[in-house]
Amino acid sequence: MFALWSLRVVGAGGFAVLGWRLGGIVSEFLSGKEQFLPWGLALTLAGVPVGALVAPYLTFKPWRKSADYISSIPGSTLLSGTIGLLVGLVIASLISIPLYSLSGWLGWGVPVMVSLFLGLFGIWLGVHRDRDMSAIFPRLESSNNGVGKVYRNGSILVDTSAIIDGRIADLSITGFLEGSLVVPRFVLDELRHIADSSDDLRRARGRRGLEVLSRLRKDATVPLEVLDVGVGVGEEVDAQLVRLAKGMDSPILTTDYNLNRVAELQGVQVLNVNELANALKSIVLPGEDLRVHIVQEGKEAGQGVAYLDDGTMVVVEGGRRHLNAFHEVVVTRVLQTAAGRIIFAHPKS
């Protein structure tokens, strides 16, 4: 806020000086001599509010747009383009040495045009040789689940779905994640819109996400940062998140299946919380003993149904007589389906 007001003051002063100079030109044009009254005073006073109003739109907002665009450019592309620009300007300087001897405006005009052309050509060539630059500076490899790995910039972008899911708070406390969690501003905006929804279920999910962020902010195990990056008009949040991840060379932490697939197609590392949970599920083998709480009847006669802590269904043959009670069972077989894992067992005699 202080920077914005300072910018408005500077803009007001600059436009006041501009109005004063313009008033002198107008008075000289109308009366033949330069004088402050009345045009100088009128334009100076008009320049103060105009400068205070338009200064942020001429400086601050274009700067933010440029910063957002540069942040979306992959690091290797930015580096190769900069090297191409420098090489182009060096070659232009060498070529322009004999051109300075030309007479008139050609002595400075031709070298400027040569520098402009070779500089732009160097940027174009550098950007199109981005893959060669990536080969010279290879990316730090990371495993598929991302646990215990440090990424090149040490940050992990967090999606809205992962925040609402809530398990990242428990995961960060364990210390398996290294680096820092980065939440873009447009993700916070989306989370706030969900929390303000008129639908009760969406509102509850949004408020749960805000509570998870509060827990992460208070926990010092994994730093939480908010990146001031917005979304362009008509642009989707997922598309901006993938573009930002490519520019920062950071993985995305999410539970969104569609975002997972889109990001992988564009070469962005994805840390899917659901895949991690599936990988860490306990394996139950036939013949093992379990103590389960049979909570309901099964579809078949005499069956009872229980659930493990991770939600896995256990179908107990002949378990109906032990309904609403804990009982020892022996695993007979494990069936893996698209909906999850189902364990079949019978009461232990």
pTM over 0.75: no
User: How do beta strands 224-227 and 180-184 pair?
Assistant: parallel
Residues 242/247/249/250 CA torsion (nearest 10 deg): -50
Write down the pLDDT at residue 143: 37
Q: Helix/strand/coil (H, E, C) string of the chain?
A: CHHHHHHHHHHHHHHHHHHHHHHHHHHHHHHCCCCCCCHHHHHHHHHHHHHHHHHHHHCHHHHHHHHHHHHHCCHHHHHHHHHHHHHHHHHHHHHHCHHHHCCCCHHHHHHHHHHHHHHHHHHHHHHHCHHHHHHHCCCCCCCCCCCCCCCCCCEEEECHHHHHHCHHHHHHHHCCCCCEEEEEHHHHHHHHHHHCCCCHHHHHHHHHHHHHHHHHHHCCCCCEEEECCCCCCCCCHHHHHHHHHHHHCCCEEECCHHHHHHHHHCCCCEEEHHHHHHHCCCCCCCCCEEEEEEEEECCCCCCEEEECCCCCEEEECCCHHHCCEEEEEEEEEEEEECCEEEEEEEECC
Regarding whether 160 and 44 lie in a shared domain, the answer is no
Residue 150 lies in a domain: no
Tens-place pLDDT, residues 315-334: 999 998 889 999 999 999 98
Write down the pLDDT at residue 340: 67
Regarding whether 123 and 93 lie in a shared domain, the answer is yes
Residue that finishes a domain, picked among 77, 106, 136: 136
Write down the pLDDT at residue 334: 87
Write down the pLDDT at residue 140: 37
With contact defined as beta carbons under 8 Å apart, do 282 and 312 qualify?
no
Regarding whether 308 and 227 lie in a shared domain, the answer is no
Residue 233 lies in a domain: yes
Write down the pLDDT at residue 226: 86
Residue 142 lies in a domain: no
With contact defined as beta carbons under 8 Å apart, do 241 and 162 qualify?
no
* Residue ranges for the chain with pLDDT beneath 70: 1-4, 7, 32-36, 60, 71-76, 130-153, 232-234, 281-282, 310, 337-340
Residue 144 lies in a domain: no
Regarding whether 44 and 71 lie in a shared domain, the answer is no
Residue 146 lies in a domain: no
Regarding whether 85 and 34 lie in a shared domain, the answer is no
Write down the pLDDT at residue 133: 57
Residue 284 lies in a domain: no
Range of the domain at 47: 2-58
What's the distance, Cα to Cα, between the start and end of the chain in Å?
Answer: 74
Regarding whether 269 and 228 lie in a shared domain, the answer is yes
Write down the pLDDT at residue 150: 39
Write down the pLDDT at residue 130: 65
Regarding whether 243 and 202 lie in a shared domain, the answer is yes
Write down the pLDDT at residue 348: 84
**Which CATH number does the domain housing residue 294 bear?**
2.40.50.140
Residue 299 lies in a domain: yes
Residue 145 lies in a domain: no
Regarding whether 9 and 73 lie in a shared domain, the answer is no
**Which CATH number does the domain housing residue 267 bear?**
3.40.50.1010
Regarding whether 274 and 160 lie in a shared domain, the answer is yes
Residue 238's contacts (CB-CB under 8 Å, 6 or more residues apart) are 159, 256, 258, 259, 262
Regarding whether 303 and 214 lie in a shared domain, the answer is no
Write down the pLDDT at residue 200: 87
Write down the pLDDT at residue 153: 54
Regarding whether 71 and 52 lie in a shared domain, the answer is no
Write down the pLDDT at residue 132: 60
Looking at the 3D structure of the chain, how many domains does it have? 4
Regarding whether 103 and 128 lie in a shared domain, the answer is yes
